[in-house]
Amino acid sequence: MLSVDSIDTYYGQSHILHDVSFEAGTNEVVALLGRNGAGKTTTMRSVMGLTPPRTGTIRFDGTDITGDAPSSIANRGIGYVPQDRRMFPEMTVEENLRMGLGKAPFDPDRMERLFERFPRVGERLDQRAGTLSGGEQQMVAMARALMRDPQLLLLDEPTEGLMPSLIPEIAEITQAIATAGYTIVIVEQNVDLVLDIADRIYLLQNGRIGETVTPEALEQNDAILEEYLGV
Amino acid sequence: MWSLHTPVGTVTLNRAVLLVLFVIALLWPVIGVGDFLLFLGALFLAFGLYGASFDLLYGYTGLLSFGHSVFFGVGAYAATFALMDYGQGAFVGLLVAFLATILIAVGLGLIAVRVKSHGFVIVTILIALIAQRLAETYSGITGGTDGIIVSVPDIWIPLLGEYSVFDPTFRYYFTLGVVLVSLFLMYRLVISPVGLVFRMIRENEQRARMLGYNVTAYKLIAFVASGAFAGIAGALATYINGFINASRFSLIVAGDPVIYTMLGGRSTIVGAVIGAVLIEGAGNYVSQVTDAYQLIVGLLLLVMVVVEPEGLIGLWNRLQRRVKRRVRDSTPTPEVTTDD
């Protein structure tokens, strides 16, 4: 479904991603792991066209989307839950959710089903998104990405910056989304969550993919964990 | 907060205030204000529409345009040419003003909305300067700074008959009708899904792109819609004044809707109308008392912008919140009694 082939991405003169390649097949959950500054978020932004790569190709469902506008990429059916949630703080929760539709038609049944998954979101529809807690904002961001029933979901650090007490709830929701059959590319520092849901893990270091491992292999290899994650 | 439940719906305090303002506007000619105040009333309404059209762009998408006078002027001249050179009626004149402004706004918008942040402001200022220069240079067509006297033919209203715009009461109601319809259309636009995208762009363009919205296209829609209603306002002002000249394109005229919106309150549509009536009304009355009226009005505006950047409507909302808080704090919590 998603095929990233030898991309090189820059911020101005800074070369961030070096020859990065990875794949995510239909219904697969693929994780990108690495320390801070390894290039995980830049990889997500490259796929979304927010920081397009200078070389290499990104294919989605067989179509080359490299260099396409972010709006066009999103409308192909890629939902993005960015780091820090990126709400529209002055708008209500309901307005934030509706904004996730893009060009897709509004389906009230779909919204109701989303509220079953995110009951707290359904209770706060009229509240300004900026007044929600970090965990609630994360739920809104995830629900917003699911509004148009995307074929591929990009999750960038869903548990980052949350109160420790909220992490299990978000992890549980992430797990539920993963088992619901979505193709997911997830960037996460919470290794336990990744080990639970990922089919394949790409380990990033200094903007390069170092290793590709299964969760089982990673769990049993302390040396890799130490080298790439410092744990 | 205060609200009244009626068989046709709930009347909140804000709606009640709007209703009172609407009734005052409707009864303005009936309460015997005289011809001059009817003339001023019509003119202020046209300026209010001009302000509201600017608010549609600035208040909802965050694009600060200092070139709105171009649309005001294009609408005014397009209607004038339709009336004077092609013998059309006032309604056709308004339609021509609307369509001509759309055409110009699409052309200018394709350049302006691609430029980000301060660049957009500078581009709109340049557009206004160029338009004013062109209007002054081609004085054979525009009348230059001396202007053109515009004679508006009698207006036929279905079922009611034919009226002259020289009739102050008719002129007032004609303007009020056009302004109300325009405000209603703008309101429908800003509460539609398209309006929601406008607000999303105002809050964060990149997030809007990330969610799949073509930000440039939506900005262009806002720019064109805003320009088209400014064009109608320009045509109305010309009908009321019976005169037009090249200064319609000036930067001073471009600054007027900015001031109306800042005083009344942005992202409200109606705030700019209130701002226009207060500014123009104050200017008219203070100028009778002192020559320094511009200084006084300017100082009042400065205080307003510093004290309440969200304008009068922002002040009103803040006041309501404070009263609500006081009421809540002063309400004694019920005592808990237990049956032992």
Give all domains of chain A, ordered by start, each with its CATH number.
2-229 (3.40.50.300)
Q: Which residue of A has its CA nearest to B201?
A: A88
pLDDT at B33: 81
The answer to whether residue B224 scores a pLDDT higher than 50 is yes
- Give dist(CA B65, CA B126) in Å, integer: 11
Residue A58, phi then psi, degrees to nearest 5 = -125, 120
Residue A221, phi then psi, degrees to nearest 5 = -120, 90
What are the residues whose beta carbons fall under 8 Å from the beta carbon of A51, sequence distance 6 or more?
Answer: A9, A11, A42, A45
pLDDT digits (tens, 9 = 90+) for B176-215: 999 999 999 999 999 999 999 999 999 988 889 888 899 9
pLDDT level of residue B325 (50, 70, 90 thresholds): confident
Are the Cβ atoms of A102 and B212 closer than 8 angstroms? yes
Residue A130 CA neighbour count, 13 Å, CB half: 5
Residues on A contacting B at a C-beta cutoff of 8 Å = 48, 50, 69-72, 74-75, 80, 82, 86, 88-91, 95, 98-100, 102-103, 144, 148
Q: Which of A43, A47, A54 is CA-nearest to residue A73?
A: A47
Paired residues of A208 in beta bridges:
A205
pLDDT at A101: 86
pLDDT-above-90 percentage for chain B: 68
pLDDT at B329: 80
**What length does chain A have?**
231
Return the top range by mean pLDDT from A131-145, A164-178, B77-91, B320-334.
B77-91
Q: Given B203, B206, B210, which is nearest A91 (Cβ)?
A: B203
What are the residues whose beta carbons fall under 8 Å from the beta carbon of A42, sequence distance 6 or more?
Answer: A9, A11, A16, A17, A51, A207
Q: Check: CB of residue A191 under 8 Å from CB of residue A231.
A: yes
Residue type present at position A147:
M
pLDDT at A174: 82
pLDDT at B340: 43
CA-CA distances (angstroms) from residue B255 to B68, B273, B281? 8, 15, 17
Comparing B102 with A231, the larger pLDDT belongs to B102
Q: Which of B104, B103, B93 is CA-nearest to residue B67?
A: B104
Could you count the other beta carbons within 10 Å of the beta carbon of residue B205? 19
Q: Check: CB of residue A53 under 8 Å from CB of residue A43.
A: no
Return the top range by mean pLDDT from B129-133, B206-210, B306-310, B316-320.
B129-133
Question: Where are the strands (E) in A14-126, listed by range?
Answer: 14-24, 29-33, 55-60, 63-64, 78-81
pLDDT digits (tens, 9 = 90+) for B238-264: 999 999 999 999 999 999 999 999 999
Are the Cβ atoms of A99 and B214 closer than 8 angstroms? no
Are the Cβ atoms of B214 and A71 closer than 8 angstroms? yes
Paired residues of B244 in beta bridges:
B148
Q: Which of A14, A59, A16 is CA-nearest to residue A34?
A: A16
Are the Cβ atoms of B211 and A69 closer than 8 angstroms? no
The answer to whether residue B82 scores a pLDDT higher than 70 is yes
CA-CA distances (angstroms) from residue A64 to A39, A49, A60, A149, B337? 22, 12, 7, 21, 72
DSSP characters over A11-31 = ETTEEEEEEEEEEE-TT-EEE
pLDDT at B1: 56
What tens-digit pLDDT sequence spans chain A (231 residues)? 899 999 999 998 899 999 999 999 988 899 999 888 889 999 999 999 999 999 999 999 999 999 999 989 999 999 999 887 778 988 999 999 998 888 788 888 888 888 988 888 999 999 999 999 888 888 899 999 999 889 999 999 888 877 777 778 887 888 888 888 789 999 988 888 888 888 999 999 999 998 899 989 888 888 887 777 776
Q: Dihedral through CA A164, CA A166, CA A170, CA A175, nearest 10?
A: 70
Number of CB pairs < 8 Å for A and B?
A: 57
Where along chain B do its domains lie? 9-324
Ramachandran sector of residue A216 (left: φ over 0; alpha: ψ -120 to 50; beta: rest): alpha
Distance from CA of B215 to the nearest CA of A (A): 8
Nearest 5 degrees, angle CA A4-CA A10-CA A16?
A: 75
Helix spans in chain B (H): 13-27, 35-61, 68-84, 90-112, 118-137, 139-142, 168-191, 193-203, 205-210, 215-241, 251-264, 270-289, 293-307, 311-330
- Strands A200-205 and A208-213, how do they pair? antiparallel
Quote the distance between the C-alpha of residue A43 and its chain's center. Answer: 10
SS (H, E, C) A137-202: HHHHHHHHHHCCCCCEEEEECCCCCCCHHHHHHHHHHHHHHHHCCCEEEEECCCHHHHHHHCCEEE
- Give dist(CA B210, CA A84) in Å, integer: 14
Q: Which residues of chain A have a CB within 8 Å of the CB of B196?
A: 91, 95, 98-99
Residue B215 contacts A, CB cutoff 8 Å: yes
- Give dist(CA B53, CA B105) in Å, integer: 13
Comparing B136 with A193, the larger pLDDT belongs to B136
pLDDT at A119: 87
Q: Which residues of chain A have a CB within 8 Å of the CB of B200?
A: 88, 91, 99
pLDDT at B52: 97
